[in-house]
């Protein structure tokens, strides 16, 4: 039995039962390893992807229940063609180990899509579910502000 | 792509010089120069164990593992500084298990004297050389040693490669090498050659004497370089160990005895095997592995296996363990590494226009909880060789442990070390690689990736031990006249080394008392004792190791003494430090100025200061807390550090900030507890950390006054120890309540 998922603008077939979480369909079924496993209980945000533009913990979403279009970190931008938010991440040298950053960036992308000029309080509220054990939060905050400014300037 | 699949026996003189330190290097040999483990690939020529010339640039082989600390960027910058390549031409890879990649930085960790004393003494080249055989197999990342060990070694690797390339060009042109220049990956003379054109010829040339460049000419070292891994880590394209992908591979997980070290009496795999997608359940003696067609199914199935566990050999719960630790106070001290003056006589004077105070503090077990759960991928091939991918801090040891587990020769094991999604000391043990190798051995010919669930990662960790400290101090006329500290804790070093290498090192256990005995406080009577507790819980090296506990004990108690003396806590510390170690005292001045510390109390706010000299680097921190309707907030933090030489200030700033967040996370939330011999905390909801809204704003000052006699301090760990006492001292300032036990969320209500 195979399920078709719309990922980064393209249909992808995965041959896995419908109860398998999207995280594992991406990673193990499709080899799209940019989305990370951190906790499996929606407590760390490392697995965050967008479904129809909303930030979703992919470790909690069975593929049989996915109805929308999925965007993963691979669909946001690539090394030679960075999305503005990724460029801000590079400019602020945010990542240390980098493992949580796919999820942080997807969460921030959802925030900026809904709120192009977030305050520090908005950033606190949107990002509180995304854990970073390296403690890169100050640089994440700075990068989100800069990405907002870049996107406003066009 | 560079290739390092087999081992050749070419030796390189540059290594012999690498350990000598100093400025000019002769080409001379030590008794056994490790072989270059690199071999040429189709478009790549290794010039020495650290430098490969490719068609489009240079690949630096980093002898240390990248766990997020930025070491690969700094090591590459050291090579690039001498090799004259543009930063865009530089890539970096982790080296294979090989003696060539031993960690010279561990020489700095082999003394039982306080760091602040060692750092003020010229380094003895003879002592360094004598230590080399002891560390030759220490291809180990830890102890905040990476940049220290690489500082001379990596620049020599770059300079040696540059001189070999110049010699090759000189041969072609029939001129002397010193008539040629190098720039942007080219040798420039009357004709210009790219390094790639010359590499094959240069590989056969041994460079003569090389002189390292004067720091005043540095272009990369000392600057905040764009990290070489930053674009990959911002685009999801970095390949962590957990992202290893091989054709036809299977996915597995493990479930080991939660009563650590206990055996498995038996198991029933039937409920797991009945689940669709499950391929195999493998007994591992003290646990099981489940192999499936995806990781999630493997994890579900592992929970379904019925297992009869044997017991562990440690007490049943945290309370009984703390009783065992407390009992160590009744034993003879394992160490007395500081005993200035006559502390007993001074304390016996009792309170005379002052006070004698005593306090007891307690800290819990802690887990590393890196974001990337433990994992390893292994593939036992038809020819009997084993290929393993595992993010680990000790590659030679890990490779050898895999070989031993499968009873094959170490030469038959190829170990790849991908970048790690956090380490913090938690990837020292070879266990993930060994278990993956054993799973692979049960399914020869099929590569298998083994991923720990978060629950397994947390409950099967090697923990920072719990500890109890008792301190006594005497104040007279507003001055501290005596301090006697005693820490009781099981020894991480003995516990871990007995497990890893089969024996515990002799001598006093520095780790139990570091951060307590070795601080630059000029008390006339200062004694610090270590009491090693007899407790067999699995222990490991946790970011800053013993400093993480002893800095909390000492710096909380110094604060208590300051208050008992009626003194400002920052000024009280300065008085004790100024004549003992000026660079350390300067840091207190810096955080005083940065934070606008005036010693005045502001309603609703509290401030605390703390200091620790660890891993060669003194760090002072001030933290501000605020009482809000939602609870206590950590609002602002100021850090001043002095590593002697800041090779990359951007990375130093990130490490100091991150290390303080790591320490504050543990101080507020962190506790691993035991019930029925099992770890209670199973996932992040039970073992939380600071998050975006609960992290303070930071300001960091990096000073370079501590570099006399060529001293360089580490930067990955020293930011952690002062974090907990700075917070506890701030909470006292805010509430008047003295925190003597961690974590603090048991006693104080923090805003979420």
Tell whether the model's pLDDT for residue B32 goes beyond 90.
no
At A83, which CATH number? 1.10.150.120
**Averaged pLDDT, B301-323:** 98
The pLDDT value recorded for residue B211 is 83
Do residues A42 and A35 lie in contact, with contact meaning Cβ atoms separated by under 8 Å? no
Q: State the Cα–Cα distance between residues B244 and B388, nearest whole angstrom.
A: 10
Domain limit, last residue, from B451, B474, B489: B451
The verdict on residue B429 lying in a domain is: yes
Query: How close is the nearest chain A Cα to the Cα of B436, in Å?
Result: 17
Say yes or no for a CB contact (<8 Å) between B227 and A95: yes
Query: What are the pLDDT digits (tens) for B2-22?
Result: 333 222 223 333 333 333 333
**What's this model's pTM, rounded to 2 decimal places?**
0.95
**Averaged pLDDT, B194-217:** 88
H/E stretch holding A58 reads none
Do residues B719 and B641 lie in contact, with contact meaning Cβ atoms separated by under 8 Å? yes
Is the same domain home to B525 and B590? yes
Is the same domain home to A8 and A55? yes
Is the same domain home to A68 and A19? yes
Is the same domain home to B219 and B304? no
Q: State the Cα–Cα distance between residues B308 and B264, nearest whole angstrom.
A: 6
Domain limit, last residue, from A75, A97, A131: A75
H/E stretch holding B713 reads none
Is the same domain home to B587 and B553? yes
> Buried (b) or exposed (e) across A68-102, using 16+ Cβ within 10 A?
eebbbbbbbbeeeebbbbbbbbbbbbbbbbbbbbb
Is the same domain home to B409 and B537? no
Q: State the Cα–Cα distance between residues B201 and B613, nearest whole angstrom.
A: 48
Is the same domain home to A81 and A146? yes
Domain limit, last residue, from B235, B250, B278: B235
User: What's chain B's Rg over C-alpha atoms?
Assistant: 27
Q: Give the CA distances from residue B742 to residues B152, B676, B681, in Å, rounded to whole numbers and listed in that order.
A: 41, 22, 16
Query: How close is the nearest chain A Cα to the Cα of B683, in Å?
Result: 7
Is the same domain home to B427 and B524? no
- B chain contacts of residue A98, beta-carbon cutoff 8 Å: 68, 229, 232-234, 238, 419, 421
Is the same domain home to A66 and A81? no
Is the same domain home to A85 and A136? yes
State the residue range of the domain holding B715: 318-367+462-746
Nearest CA in chain B to A37: B372
Say yes or no for a CB contact (<8 Å) between A137 and B685: no
Is the same domain home to B676 and B693? yes
- CA torsion through residues B375, B255, B405, B99, sign: positive
The pLDDT value recorded for residue B599 is 85
At A13, which CATH number? 3.10.20.30
- Tokens 């077990």, residue? B365
Phi, psi of B467 (to 5 degrees): -160, 155
- B chain contacts of residue A135, beta-carbon cutoff 8 Å: 657-662, 665, 690, 695
Say yes or no for a CB contact (<8 Å) between A135 and B69: no
Is the same domain home to A99 and A144? yes
Q: Give the CA distances from residue B268 to residues B281, B305, B306, B505, B576, in Å, rounded to whole numbers and listed in that order.
A: 9, 6, 5, 41, 64
| SS3 labels along B172-214 | HHCCCHHHCEEECCEEECCCEEEHHHHHHHHCCCCCCCEECCC
Nearest CA in chain B to A77: B235
State the residue range of the domain holding A19: 3-75
Is the same domain home to A71 and A81? no
User: What's chain A's Rg over C-alpha atoms?
Assistant: 15
Domain limit, last residue, from A17, A51, A75: A75
- A chain contacts of residue B665, beta-carbon cutoff 8 Å: 133, 135
Query: What are the pLDDT digits (tens) for B559-574?
Result: 999 999 999 999 999 9
DSSP category for residue B622:
E
Is the same domain home to B325 and B301? no
Query: What are the pLDDT digits (tens) for B368-406?
Result: 999 999 999 999 999 999 999 999 999 999 999 999 999
Say yes or no for a CB contact (<8 Å) between A98 and B233: yes
Tokens matching residue A87 = 């460029």
At B212, which CATH number? 3.30.365.10
B184 has a chain A CB within 8 A of its CB: no
Is the same domain home to B701 and B666? yes
Query: How close is the nearest chain B Cα to the Cα of A26, in Å?
Result: 11
* Nearest-by-Cβ selection for B693 from A37, A124, A133: A124
- B chain contacts of residue A104, beta-carbon cutoff 8 Å: none
Residues 255-314 of B with CB under 8 A from A: 276-277, 293-297, 299
Is the same domain home to A45 and A11? yes
**Averaged pLDDT, B440-463:** 98
Q: Give me the number of domains chain A comprises.
A: 2
Say yes or no for a CB contact (<8 Å) between B236 and A99: no
Phi, psi of B222 (to 5 degrees): 95, -5
Domain limit, last residue, from B235, B252, B282: B235
Q: How confident is the model at residue B98 (pLDDT cuts 50, 70, 90)?
A: confident
Tell whether the model's pLDDT for residue B238 goes beyond 60.
yes
Report the percent of chain A where pLDDT is more than 90.
96
The verdict on residue B8 lying in a domain is: no
Is the same domain home to B424 and B513? no
Q: Give me the number of domains chain B comprises.
A: 3
B232 has a chain A CB within 8 A of its CB: yes
The verdict on residue B615 lying in a domain is: yes
Tokens matching residue B180 = 């040629």
CA angle A68, A101, B301 (to 5 degrees): 65
Is the same domain home to A140 and A102? yes
Phi, psi of B736 (to 5 degrees): 75, 5
Tokens matching residue B141 = 């990342």
Q: State the Cα–Cα distance between residues B434 and B308, nearest whole angstrom.
A: 23
Domain limit, last residue, from A29, A53, A75: A75
């Amino acid at each position: 039995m195979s399920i078709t998922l719309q990922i980064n603008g393209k249909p992808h077939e995965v041959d896995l039962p419908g109860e398998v979480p999207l995280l594992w369909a991406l990673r193990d079924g499709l080899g799209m390893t940019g989305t990370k496993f951190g906790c499996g209980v929606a407590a760390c945000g490392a697995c965050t992807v967008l479904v129809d533009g909303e930030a979703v913990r992919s470790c909690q979403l069975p593929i049989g229940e996915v109805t929308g279009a999925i965007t993963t970190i691979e669909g946001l931008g690539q090394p030679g063609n960075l999305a503005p938010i990724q460029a801000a991440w590079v400019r602020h040298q945010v990542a240390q180990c980098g493992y949580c950053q796919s999820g942080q960036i997807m969460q921030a992308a959802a925030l900026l899509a809904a709120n192009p000029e977030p305050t520090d309080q908005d950033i606190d509220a949107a990002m509180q579910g995304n854990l970073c054990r390296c403690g890169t939060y100050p640089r994440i905050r700075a990068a989100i502000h800069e990405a907002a400014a870049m996107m406003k300037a066009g | 792509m560079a290739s390092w699949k087999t081992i050749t026996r070419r030796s390189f003189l540059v290594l012999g010089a690498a350990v000598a330190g100093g400025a000019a290097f002769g080409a001379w040999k030590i008794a056994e120069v490790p072989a270059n483990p690199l071999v040429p690939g189709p478009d790549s020529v290794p010039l020495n164990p650290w430098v490969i010339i490719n068609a489009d640039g240079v690949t630096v082989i980093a002898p240390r593992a990248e766990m997020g600390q930025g070491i690969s960027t700094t090591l590459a910058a050291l090579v690039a500084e001498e090799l004259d390549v543009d930063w865009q031409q530089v890539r970096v890879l982790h080296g294979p298990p090989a003696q060539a990649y031993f960690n010279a930085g561990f020489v700095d960790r082999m003394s039982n004297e306080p760091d602040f004393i060692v750092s003020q003494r010229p380094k003895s080249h003879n002592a360094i050389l004598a230590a080399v055989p002891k560390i030759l197999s220490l291809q180990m990342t830890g102890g905040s040693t990476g940049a220290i060990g690489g500082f001379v070694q990596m620049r020599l690797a770059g300079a040696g490669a540059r001189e070999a390339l110049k010699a090759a060009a000189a041969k072609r042109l029939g001129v002397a090498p010193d008539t040629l220049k190098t720039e942007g990956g080219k040798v420039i003379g009357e004709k210009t050659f790219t390094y790639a054109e010359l590499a094959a010829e240069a590989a056969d040339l041994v460079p003569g004497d090389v002189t390292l460049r004067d720091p005043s000419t540095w272009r990369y070292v000392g600057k905040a370089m764009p990290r070489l891994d930053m674009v990959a880590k911002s685009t999801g394209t970095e390949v962590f160990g957990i992202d290893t992908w091989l054709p036809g591979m299977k996915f597995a997980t493990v479930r080991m005895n939660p009563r650590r070290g206990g055996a498995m009496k038996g198991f029933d795999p039937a409920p797991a095997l009945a689940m669709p997608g499950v391929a195999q359940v493998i007994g591992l003696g003290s646990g099981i592995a489940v192999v499936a067609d995806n990781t999630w199914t493997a994890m579900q199935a592992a929970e379904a296996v019925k297992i009869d566990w044997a017991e562990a050999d440690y007490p049943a719960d945290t309370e009984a363990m703390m009783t065992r630790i407390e009992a160590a106070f009744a034993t003879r001290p394992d160490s007395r590494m500081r005993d200035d003056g006559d502390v007993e006589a001074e304390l016996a004077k009792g309170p005379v226009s002052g006070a004698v105070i005593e306090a007891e503090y307690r800290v819990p077990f802690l887990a590393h909880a890196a974001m990337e759960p433990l994992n390893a991928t292994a593939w036992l091939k038809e020819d009997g060789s084993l290929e393993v991918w595992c993010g680990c801090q000790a590659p030679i040891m890990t490779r050898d442990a895999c070989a031993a587990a499968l009873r094959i020769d170490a030469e038959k094991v190829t170990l790849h070390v991908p970048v790690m999604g956090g380490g913090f000391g938690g990837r020292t043990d070879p266990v993930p690689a060994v278990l993956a190798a054993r799973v692979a051995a049960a399914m020869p010919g099929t590569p298998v990736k083994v991923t720990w669930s978060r629950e397994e990662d947390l409950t099967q960790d090697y923990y920072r031990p719990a500890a109890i400290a008792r301190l006594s101090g005497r104040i007279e006329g507003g001055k501290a006249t005596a301090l006697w500290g005693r820490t009781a804790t099981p020894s991480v070093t003995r516990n871990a080394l007995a497990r890893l290498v089969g024996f515990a090192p002799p001598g006093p256990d520095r780790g139990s008392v570091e951060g307590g005995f070795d601080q630059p406080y000029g008390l006339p009577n200062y004694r610090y004792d270590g009491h090693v507790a007899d407790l067999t819980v699995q222990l490991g090296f946790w970011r800053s190791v013993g400093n993480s506990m002893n800095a909390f004990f000492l710096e909380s108690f110094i604060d208590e003494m300051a208050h008992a003396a009626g003194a400002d806590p920052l000024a009280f510390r300065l008085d004790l430090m100024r004549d003992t170690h000026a660079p350390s005292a300067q840091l207190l001045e810096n955080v005083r100025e940065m934070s606008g510390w005036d010693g005045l109390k502001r309603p609703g706010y509290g401030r605390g200061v703390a200091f620790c000299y660890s891993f060669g680097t003194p760090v002072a921190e001030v933290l501000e807390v605020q009482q809000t309707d939602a609870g206590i907030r950590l609002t602002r933090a100021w850090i001043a550090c002095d590593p002697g030489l800041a090779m990359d200030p951007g990375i130093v700033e990130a490490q100091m900030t991150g290390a303080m967040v790591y320490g504050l996370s543990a101080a507020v939330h962190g506790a691993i507890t035991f019930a029925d011999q099992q770890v209670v905390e199973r996932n992040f909801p039970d073992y939380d950390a600071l998050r975006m809204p609960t992290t303070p704003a930071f300001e960091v000052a990096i000073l370079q006054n501590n570099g006399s006699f060529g001293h360089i301090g580490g930067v990955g760990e020293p930011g952690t120890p002062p974090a907990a006492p700075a917070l506890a001292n701030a909470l006292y300032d805010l509430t008047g309540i003295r925190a003597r036990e961690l974590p603090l969320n048991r006693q104080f209500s923090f805003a979420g």
